[in-house]
Structure 1
Amino acid sequence: MLTPFDISCPYCGEPIEILVDASAGDQHYIEDCQVCCRPIALSIQIDADGEPQVIAASEDDA
């Protein structure tokens, strides 16, 4: 099941929505910003209640 999650781009600061698949467990991947097209390093961890926690960082900070 895909869950929408709002983040802010670490480069341009614009709010963007990503879709998180909580059934896939913890994840780390790169997704381009929908506004400025720069690569965002996403770290997704699933807590004990099954809720995703998302950290978005610039590629250099990851």
Structure 2
Amino acid sequence: MLEEHFFTCPYCFSNISVLLDPSIAAQTYIEDCEICCKPIEIKFFIENGELSFFSAQSIEQ
């Protein structure tokens, strides 16, 4: 089951969310902000079924 996680966009500072798949232990991918459409690098780690690390960083262009 996917889990919704809220964070602040590093560009426009809006509170937005992503759906995380806790069945995958580690992921890194790019997702556009749903407000300003700029690309955000999402990284997260799941340990023992719980979110242990989450990062949402701007991508230098």
TM-score (norm 2): 0.89
> How many residues of Structure 1 are paired with residues of Structure 2 in the alignment?
59
The root-mean-square deviation of aligned C-alpha atoms, in Å, is 0.9
Q: In 1, Cα distance between the equivalents of 2:32 and 2:44?
A: 16
DSSP-derived class of the 1:27 partner: strand
Runs of at least 4 residues off by over 3 Å: none
Larger helix proportion, structure 1 or 2? 1
Deviation at 1:51, TM superposition (A): 1.1
Distance 1:37 1:51 in 2: 28
Cα offset for 1:9?
0.3
Partners of 2:43 and 2:10 lie apart in 1 by 13
Superposition TM-score, scaled by structure 1 size: 0.87
Report which of the two has the higher share of strand.
2
Q: Compute the displacement of 1:59 (Å).
A: 1.1
Q: Percent identity at matched positions?
A: 42
**Structure 1 gap ranges (5+):** none
In the alignment, which residue of structure 2 is the partner of 1:42? 42
